């Protein structure tokens, strides 16, 4: 921040400004000009408020410098960005309704789920082929075979597909099959992966890390943008909390906060945020009411047999009910749920 002092500022006031800046935990750099004196405030700009400094006697104006995430910032791009995923628009008034199982398990499973979510009104199919599991003994995904199954299910039901990439070496392969590449919470700060995905021209679904601040999330988006890929969609999927009642802590305020700081679309993922099917509908609605550009929900036709994240999956009929309410909310919010181009209705 740059603190510009009044032209009639006294030496005592200057000393007081320096003292206050340092008392707030920042370093102050004084620069006396012929007509104006300014103080450079050095430290994490997110931790200091403009009005706190503006209230100090002798201060004329406080000017924040550009955020470190220049390309992702609103200043750089005042208009909301619209990301096009094979014809499905996200952001700027268009909502993504992403649904599907946590993991691709079989062609039959994907066919059933894709048909059901398409009928309910979803516009993008999800399914993990490379699963980042906390335990090395858990199901790791079907790999390339899973990518093929996902692609086929998407093509059959007229839905673009999104799937996660976990390793920079796999980006090329995932790029071949996916319409959108997901970077999961556990990899949000895998900078090599971000850069590699930034070199593709595929839309990217960037999930917030479990302990990531909003600034961290925007800095990760900056990695992708800085490589020339401007098609980033952020995803609030909950952060680690202290309460075991929910899997994570759903930070719905991140939605309007990101919109204020960045032009990038942001969707919510109440499935990973809560881990509880009974809480997913309310959090999905809250996300839309907060201005989210879409909702990502895990759906499985037989959650008890799911190989990953079964307990948090909605059944197709439950998803269809949630979609009815989300459509109503979208209308209230003046938003449009993009119709997938492959849809026949
Ligand atoms: C997922 O989408 O299945 C997933 C692993 O999500 P997250 O990275 O948000 O935990
Ligand atoms: Mn999952």
Distance 77 CA to ligand 1 centre (A): 29
Q: Which residue has a Cα nearest atom 6 of ligand 1?
A: 184
Give the separation between CA 186 and CA 210, rounded to whole angstroms.
7
> Which range has highest mean pLDDT (25-39, 57-71, 262-276)?
262-276
Mean local confidence (pLDDT), 161-174: 98
Give the chain's radius of gyration (CA, Å): 23
CA distances from 100 to 15, 166, 271, 306, 328 (A): 61, 19, 11, 12, 21
Distance 27 CA to ligand 2 centre (A): 44
184 lines ligand 1 (CB under 6 A): yes
When pLDDT is cut at 50, 70 and 90, the band that residue 344 belongs to is: low
Mean local confidence (pLDDT), 161-190: 98
3-state secondary structure (DSSP) of residue 2: strand
The pLDDT tens digits of the residues spanning 301-320 come to 999 999 999 999 999 999 99
126 lines ligand 1 (CB under 6 A): no
Q: Which residue has a Cα nearest atom 10 of ligand 1?
A: 185
Distance 275 CA to ligand 2 centre (A): 9
CA quadruple 133, 137, 138, 140: dihedral sign: positive
Ligand of minimum distance to the alpha carbon of 296: 1
Distance 139 CA to ligand 2 centre (A): 12
Ligand of minimum distance to the alpha carbon of 309: 2
CA distances from 194 to 64, 85, 232, 235 (A): 28, 18, 11, 15
Residue identified by tokens 């499905």 is 88
Q: Which residues lie below 8 Å from residue 17, measured CB to CB, with a gap of 6+?
A: 3, 5, 28, 39, 56, 58, 59
Atom of ligand 1 nearest to the CA of 309: 3
Ligand of minimum distance to the alpha carbon of 186: 1
Distance 269 CA to ligand 2 centre (A): 10
Enter the pTM of the model: 0.85
Give the separation between CA 318 and CA 74, rounded to whole angstroms.
37
The pLDDT assigned to 64 comes to: 80
Assess whether pLDDT exceeds 60 at residue 330.
Answer: yes
User: What percent of the chain has pLDDT above 90?
Assistant: 92
Assess whether pLDDT exceeds 80 at residue 275.
Answer: yes
185 lines ligand 1 (CB under 6 A): yes
For 76-223, list the strands marked E by DSSP: 83-85, 88-90, 94-100, 124-126, 161-164, 180-183, 204-207
237 lines ligand 1 (CB under 6 A): yes
Distance 302 CA to ligand 1 centre (A): 19
Strands 336-337 and 94-100: parallel
The pLDDT assigned to 223 comes to: 97
Q: Which of 96, 132, 194 to mutate to test the pocket of ligand 1 (most atoms within 8 A of CB)?
A: 132
Residue identified by tokens 């490379």 is 130
Give the separation between CA 185 and CA 217, rounded to whole angstroms.
10
Q: Which residue has a Cα nearest atom 3 of ligand 1?
A: 102
- CA triplet 336, 221, 136: central angle to 5 degrees? 100
Atom of ligand 1 nearest to the CA of 128: 3
- Are 229 and 84 a contacting pair, CB within 8 Å? no
128 lines ligand 1 (CB under 6 A): yes
Assess whether pLDDT exceeds 90 at residue 342.
Answer: no
Distance 312 CA to ligand 2 centre (A): 8
3-state secondary structure (DSSP) of residue 121: coil
Give the separation between CA 16 and CA 56, rounded to whole angstroms.
8
Distance 20 CA to ligand 2 centre (A): 47
Phi, psi of 72 (to 5 degrees): -85, -10
Q: Which residue has a Cα nearest atom 1 of ligand 1?
A: 102
Distance 127 CA to ligand 2 centre (A): 9
100 lines ligand 1 (CB under 6 A): no
The pLDDT tens digits of the residues spanning 181-227 come to 999 999 999 999 999 999 999 999 999 999 999 999 999 999 999 99
């Amino acid at each position: 921040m740059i603190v510009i002092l009044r032209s009639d500022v006294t030496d005592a006031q200057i000393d007081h400004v320096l003292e206050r800046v340092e008392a707030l935990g920042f370093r102050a750099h004084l620069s006396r000009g012929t007509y104006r004196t300014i103080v450079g405030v050095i430290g994490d700009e997110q931790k200091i408020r403009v009005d706190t400094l503006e209230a100090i006697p002798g201060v004329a104006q406080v000017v924040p410098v550009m955020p470190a995430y220049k390309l992702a910032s609103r200043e750089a791009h005042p208009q909301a960005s619209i990301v096009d995923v094979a014809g499905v628009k996200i952001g700027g008034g268009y909502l993504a309704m992403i649904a599907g199982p946590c993991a691709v398990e079989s062609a039959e499973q994907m066919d059933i789920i894709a048909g059901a979510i398409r009928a309910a009104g979803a516009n993008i199919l999800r399914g993990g082929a490379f699963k980042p599991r906390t335990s090395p003994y858990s199901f790791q995904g079907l790999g390339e075979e899973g990518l093929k199954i996902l692609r086929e299910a998407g093509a059959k039901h007229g839905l673009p597909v999104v799937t996660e990439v976990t390793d920079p070496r796999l980006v090329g392969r995932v790029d071949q099959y996916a319409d959108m590449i997901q970077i999961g919470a556990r990899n949000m700060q895998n900078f090599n992966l971000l850069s590699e995905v930034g070199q593709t021209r595929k839309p990217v679904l960037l999930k917030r890390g479990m302990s990531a601040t909003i600034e961290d999330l925007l800095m990760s988006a900056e990695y992708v943008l800085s490589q020339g890929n401007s098609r980033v969609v952020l995803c609030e999927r909950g952060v680690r909390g202290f309460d075991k009642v929910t899997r994570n802590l759903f930070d719905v305020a991140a939605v309007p906060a990101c919109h204020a700081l960045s032009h990038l679309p942001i969707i919510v993922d109440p499935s990973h945020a809560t881990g509880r099917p009974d809480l997913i509908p309310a959090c999905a609605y809250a996300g839309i009411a907060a201005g989210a550009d879409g909702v990502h929900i895990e759906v499985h036709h037989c959650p008890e047999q799911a190989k990953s994240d079964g307990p948090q999956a909605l059944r197709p009929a439950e998803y269809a009910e949630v979609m009815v309410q989300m459509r109503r909310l979208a209308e209230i919010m003046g938003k449009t749920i993009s119709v997938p181009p492959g849809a026949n209705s």
